[in-house]
Structure 1
């Protein structure tokens, strides 16, 4: 059960805190009110994907569905042009209008940013870290009984309704239909996905994979708003995703790819303010704590994977 709790807490913290959104003074409130939402979603997504046997493609598809529902229907930030007003990120909300999609009423830039961040920080990176820290025998196994799945699902729905009630009704019937239809298609694809077995390909090691992903994140900071920046982000995402899929042949590669996203978030936290104004010493404390935590959990996760690879050699008779 410690694995479920660890994933619950890590997913919640990664979703809103690793990049500097909240200071340590806000952490208890984040865990209390956002834990059922982000932690519950990560736990459920992992459980469904592992029980269905779809592997990481299923995890990613379910994470995209969650990101669409979260940004489109729960907090409705995707369709609410005023969602960032009154926060330290109000300027980003104004800049997002440069990629506005008429008719459907959302920013293409925010679609990539909001959904992509949920996929990377809220779901996939926490799952990769906690699985890597687990014993090899239970790493890809189910962690919850049917009763606990119901408990987590109910808490997720309750957390979603709480955030939805605070967001207000800004979603039109057309927007609602598009989000629901897209999410259903993604969930069905995730459940029916079956990995194709193929011989492992030679390629670079985990550190190179992580370095490429980290470089892509950092370069993305300088693309700027507008359709040109949006296009560069999409192309970069497609190229890096194709490379990772081709190169990732071990659990260490997977951890390096998702872990690079946490490293970029922890580094970027030093460059952005939290949602609400806070003393400099408190924001700096949050940034340092985030960097230390990310380095610590990734170091421990890689250590566990390395230990697993060495274990058979120690058990063989001389």
Structure 2
């Protein structure tokens, strides 16, 4: 569960949101905040990776699952059936496709390193704002 949570954190904040590679994500100068631990060959900061992994792994995935499993009365039943799982997957895929975050007024241009573009969001990886 923890490994899947870490994978989710890296996919969500890397290729989907581009937060790992955009130094102006959300209007905050992330490049300045995390400048001390910048890893040039990754195009991001070690401290930012640590923050993203701990936040999403613990608070977005593991804690909610632990709470539901601890207080749920019907434990052997899966949380979602096939229709619910299909709808959840469709919403997860439609979000980044419908509204990529790179190049908007708040986040500024996306700066994913060239070697990271194959795993970047397809719509933003080919945009002219990507350096």
TM-score bracket for the superposition, by shorter chain length: 0.7 to 0.9
CA distance in 2 between counterparts of 1:176 and 1:126 reads 32
Matches within 5 A, 1:1-318: 59-84=1-26, 86-87=27-28, 90=29, 93-135=31-73, 138-163=74-99, 165-168=100-103, 169-177=110-118
CA contact (8 A) 2:18 2:101 kept: no
The answer on whether the counterparts of 2:9 and 2:56 sit within 8 Å (CA) in structure 1 is: yes
- The answer to whether the 8 A contact 2:37-2:45 is kept is yes
Question: Which whole-Å CA distance do the structure 1 matches of 2:48 and 2:40 have between them?
Answer: 14
Deviation at 1:115, TM superposition (A): 2.0
Residues matched between the structures, number: 114
- Superimposed CA distance per residue, residues 232-288 of structure 1 (whole angstroms, 9 cap, x where no aligned partner): xxxxxxxxxxxxxxxxxxxxxxxxxxxxxxxxxxxxxxxxxxxxxxxxxxxxxxxxx
CA distance in 2, matches of 1:140, 1:102: 46
Where structure 2 has 5 or more consecutive residues not aligned to the other structure, the ranges are 104-109, 121-131
Provide structure 1 residue ranges, at least 5 long, that are not aligned to the other structure.
1-58, 180-318
Structure 2 Cα separation of the partners of residues 95 and 143 of structure 1: 39
User: For the Cα contact (< 8 Å) 1:71–1:115, is it kept in 2?
Assistant: no
Whole-angstrom CA distance in 2 between matches of 1:140 and 1:79: 41
Q: What is the alpha-carbon distance in structure 2 between the residues aligned to residue 178 and residue 149 of structure 1? A: 24
